[in-house]
Amino acid sequence: MNRILLTLVLLAGITSVVVAQSRRKPLKGKTICIDPGHGGTAATDSYRVGPGGEREEWINLRVGLLLQKMLERKGAKVLMTRIEDQQVPLPDRAKLANDRKANLFVSIHHNATADSSVNFPIIYFHGNMSENVASVDFGKELAAQLLKHLHKPHTPVSLVSDFTIFADAGASVLRNTYGIPAVLAEASFFTNPSEEQRLKQPEHNRQEAVAYTEAIIAFFAKPVAPIAAKNSEVPVIPAFKVFQEAERMTPTARRWRQDFEEGNVFVTKKDTALLRESYELFTRSARSFPDSPVAGQCHQNRAVLLRKLGKAVEAQQEDQRFREYYVTMPVK
């Protein structure tokens, strides 16, 4: 009996040591796939360039390579989808993570829009929030660190489903890595002139890599939530098509906030014509900037208006899109 008790005590001690070590070194034994977005398209792609000539794919790669070194120093095994300015097919990026059984997939990006005053982080997860809990959890950790290291206090952040921008299927690299905790993150906007200048600076790139590193450490320091099969709990109901890339640089897209604010003027009215006008304004705002800080509210308001206009089924669909696609994030 004494031997059994002694064995149990020893096992408990060993277990506590292992747990303590895993908490101190949460990245030890983890395989993390880093995907610096785009690459190798400077001669053919005139969209991903800031007002001062800095290209998104260059920034993505600089941050990715810094992040690789930081994670490796923390004990992680790092897979890089590219290590130079070259074009890598989207399916190949996801295949690397799947074939090597990555524990996390992170696609590094920076953003563009017609409104040059805009600068805040956007983080995408695939599918429905209620099913892809692990990716949402990591997205929350990353949002907090990006705000801490790169942005001013009270900057908004969007944590949203990739169905907000690709209504039918989501983003390729997230769709094809589903089952692995995965995000595609746009840390800031290179179309903001001041931010573009910061993005050229090595220290700013390093701070961004630090933000990713700290978020990854925090994520693996806790148990990782399960990821349910796609559409096993909630069916996907595609929304309207939204502006893509170059379309988001148009004068219509620049009105995203103005359309939202004008829509709010009419949303409480009883006149049917005004309600329809309000509905169109919210629709245009969400179409122009589907991952903006007010896009979720646009969908909520569309649901309210659809009910007022006697379209209960469509209103329920809008409610679901808001619940599943837009994570409510506090402004810090």
Distance of alpha carbon 196 from alpha carbon 191, whole angstroms: 7
- What pLDDT was estimated at residue 212? 98
Tell me, yes or no, whether 49 and 158 share the same domain: yes
In a domain, 215, yes or no: yes
Residue 11: pLDDT above 60?
Answer: no
Helix (H, G, I), strand (E, B) or coil at 225: coil
Tell me, yes or no, whether 95 and 60 share the same domain: yes
Residue 266: pLDDT above 60?
Answer: yes
> Which is higher by pLDDT, 328 or 218?
218
Residue 45: pLDDT above 60?
Answer: yes
Tell me, yes or no, whether 95 and 59 share the same domain: yes
Instruction: List beta partners, residue 107.
Output: 35, 184
Tell me, yes or no, whether 57 and 185 share the same domain: yes
- What pLDDT was estimated at residue 17? 38
Tell me, yes or no, whether 61 and 140 share the same domain: yes
Other Cβ atoms less than 10 A from the Cβ of 172: the count is 17
Tell me, yes or no, whether 194 and 56 share the same domain: yes
Residue 27: pLDDT above 80?
Answer: yes
Are 121 and 208 a contacting pair, CB within 8 Å? no
Of the candidates 185, 220, 255, which is a domain's last residue? 220
Tell me, yes or no, whether 137 and 262 share the same domain: no
Instruction: List beta partners, residue 124.
Output: 160, 184
In a domain, 15, yes or no: no
Q: How many domains does the chain have?
A: 2
Look at residues 300, 307, 304, 276 and name the one whose alpha carbon lies nearest to residue 286: 300
In a domain, 107, yes or no: yes
Q: What pTM does this model have?
A: 0.90
The DSSP line for 172-199 is HHHHTTTTS-EEEEEEEETTSHHHHHHH
In a domain, 229, yes or no: no
Are 179 and 227 a contacting pair, CB within 8 Å? yes
Tell me, yes or no, whether 148 and 256 share the same domain: no
- What pLDDT was estimated at residue 5? 55
Tell me, yes or no, whether 212 and 260 share the same domain: no
Residue 70: pLDDT above 60?
Answer: yes
- Alpha carbon separation from 125 to 34, 95, 103 (Å, rounded): 15, 18, 15
Q: pLDDT confidence of 16, banded at 50, 70, 90?
A: very low
In a domain, 116, yes or no: yes
Are 191 and 110 a contacting pair, CB within 8 Å? no
Tell me, yes or no, whether 185 and 250 share the same domain: no
Tell me, yes or no, whether 209 and 282 share the same domain: no
Length of the chain as a residue count: 332
Q: What CATH number is given to the structural domain containing 134?
A: 3.40.630.40
Structural domain boundaries enclosing 296: 245-327
- Beta-carbon contacts of 6 under 8 Å, excluding residues fewer than 6 positions away, are none
In a domain, 231, yes or no: no
Averaged confidence pLDDT in the chain: 91
Are 225 and 133 a contacting pair, CB within 8 Å? yes
- What pLDDT was estimated at residue 235? 84
Tell me, yes or no, whether 188 and 249 share the same domain: no
- What pLDDT was estimated at residue 183? 98
- What pLDDT was estimated at residue 218? 98
In a domain, 129, yes or no: yes
Any idea which residue has 């053919």 for tokens?
A: 44
- What pLDDT was estimated at residue 46? 83
Say which amino acid occupies 123.
Answer: I
Are 150 and 203 a contacting pair, CB within 8 Å? no
pLDDT, tens digit (0-9, with 9 covering 90-100), for 267-322: 888 899 999 999 999 999 999 999 999 999 999 999 999 999 999 999 999 999 99
